[in-house]
A and B are shown apart, each in its own frame.
Chain A
Amino acid sequence: MYIRKSSDIKPSEITDREVYRQRRRFLGLAGASAAGIAAAAALPGLLSASRKAHAQARLAVAYQSPFNTKEALTPYKDVTTYNNFYEFGVGKSDPAELAASLKPHPWTVTIDGACARPGSYHLEDFIKPHALGDYVYRHRCVEAWSMVVPWVGFPLAEVIKRAGPTGAAKYVQFTTLLDPRMFPGQRLPVLDWPYTEGLRMDEAMHPLTLLAVGLYGEVLPNQNGAPLRLVVPWKYGFKSIKSIVRISFVERQPITTWMRAVPSRYGFYSNVNPDVDRVPWSQRYERRIGDLLKRKTLMFNGYGAQVAPLYAGMNLNTYY
Chain B
Amino acid sequence: MSTRQNFVRLGLKPAVFVLCLLPLLQQVWWAYTGNLGANPIGELTNESGVWSLRLLLATLAITPLRRLTGWGWLISVRRMLGLYAFTYGVLHLAVYWGLNQYFDLSLIAGDLKRPYIITGYLSLLFMVPLAATSTDAMVRRLGRRWQKLHRLVYAVAILGVLHYLLLVKIDFLPPLGYGLALAALLGWRVWAWQIAPRLAPLGRRQQAG
Query: Which residues of A are interface residues toward B (Cβ below 8 A)?
Result: 77-78, 81-82, 86, 90, 92-93, 142-143, 145, 190-191, 261-262, 279-282, 284-285, 287, 289-290, 292-294
A293–B102 CB distance below 8 A: yes
A282–B110 CB distance below 8 A: yes
In the complex, residue of chain B having the shortest beta-carbon distance to the beta carbon of A80: B38
B39–A289 CB distance below 8 A: yes
A82–B39 CB distance below 8 A: yes
Given A280-B114, A282-B111: A90 touches B37 (CB 8 Å cut-off): no
Residues of chain A with a CB closer than 8 A to B166's CB: 280
Q: Residue B72 at the A interface, CB < 8 A?
A: no
Chain A min CB distance to B69 (Å): 34
Secondary structure dominating the interface of B: helix
A145–B167 CB distance below 8 A: no
Residues of chain A with a CB closer than 8 A to B99's CB: 292
A78–B38 CB distance below 8 A: yes
Cα of A286 to Cα of B129 in the assembled complex, Å: 35
Question: Mask for B97-126, Cβ within 8 A of A = 1, else 0?
Answer: 001101000010011001110000000000
A92–B37 CB distance below 8 A: yes
Residues of chain B with a CB closer than 8 A to A262's CB: 170
Residue contacts A-B, CB under 8 angstroms, 16 given = A81-B37, A81-B38, A90-B170, A90-B171, A92-B38, A190-B170, A190-B171, A191-B170, A261-B170, A279-B169, A280-B115, A280-B116, A282-B111, A282-B114, A284-B110, A294-B100
Contact check: which of A82, A280, A281, A285 meets B37 at CB < 8 Å? A82
In the complex, residue of chain A having the shortest beta-carbon distance to the beta carbon of B37: A82
Q: Residue B42 at the A interface, CB < 8 A?
A: yes
Contact check: which of B38, B116, B169 meets A143 at CB < 8 Å? B169
Q: Name which of B37, B38, B42, B107 has the most chain A CB atoms within 10 A of its CB.
A: B38
In the complex, residue of chain B having the shortest beta-carbon distance to the beta carbon of A89: B171
A82–B41 CB distance below 8 A: no
Query: Which residues of B are interface residues toward A (Cβ below 8 A)?
Result: 37-39, 41-42, 99-100, 102, 107, 110-111, 114-116, 166-167, 169-171, 173
Given A81-B37, A82-B37, A292-B41: A281 touches B167 (CB 8 Å cut-off): yes
In the complex, residue of chain A having the shortest beta-carbon distance to the beta carbon of B102: A293
Residues of chain A with a CB closer than 8 A to B42's CB: 145, 287
In the complex, residue of chain B having the shortest beta-carbon distance to the beta carbon of A265: B169
Residues of chain A with a CB closer than 8 A to B173's CB: 190
**What are the 3 tightest A-B residue pairs by CB atom distance, in nearest-first order?**
A82-B38, A78-B38, A90-B171
Contact check: which of A92, A190, A261, A280 meets B39 at CB < 8 Å? A92
Residues of chain A with a CB closer than 8 A to B115's CB: 280
Residues of chain A with a CB closer than 8 A to B39's CB: 82, 92, 145, 287, 289
Given A280-B166, A282-B111: A289 touches B41 (CB 8 Å cut-off): no
Cα of A92 to Cα of B171 in the assembled complex, Å: 12
Residues of chain B with a CB closer than 8 A to A143's CB: 169
Given contact pairs A90-B171, A287-B39, A294-B102, a sample of 7 additional A-B residue pairs in the complex whose CB atoms are under 8 Å apart: A82-B37, A82-B39, A92-B37, A262-B170, A282-B111, A287-B42, A292-B99
Cα of A145 to Cα of B45 in the assembled complex, Å: 14
Q: Name which of B42, B107, B166, B170 has the most chain A CB atoms within 10 A of its CB.
A: B170
Contact check: which of B38, B102, B114, B171 meets A281 at CB < 8 Å? B114
In the complex, residue of chain A having the shortest beta-carbon distance to the beta carbon of B172: A190
Chain A min CB distance to B104 (Å): 10
Chain A min CB distance to B145 (Å): 37
Residues of chain B with a CB closer than 8 A to A289's CB: 38-39
Cα of A191 to Cα of B171 in the assembled complex, Å: 9
Cα of A303 to Cα of B9 in the assembled complex, Å: 63
In the complex, residue of chain B having the shortest beta-carbon distance to the beta carbon of A78: B38
Chain A min CB distance to B103 (Å): 12
Chain A min CB distance to B33 (Å): 10
Residues of chain A with a CB closer than 8 A to B110's CB: 282, 284
Residues of chain A with a CB closer than 8 A to B41's CB: 287, 292
Cα of A77 to Cα of B167 in the assembled complex, Å: 27
Chain A min CB distance to B110 (Å): 7
In the complex, residue of chain A having the shortest beta-carbon distance to the beta carbon of B110: A282
In the complex, residue of chain A having the shortest beta-carbon distance to the beta carbon of B168: A280
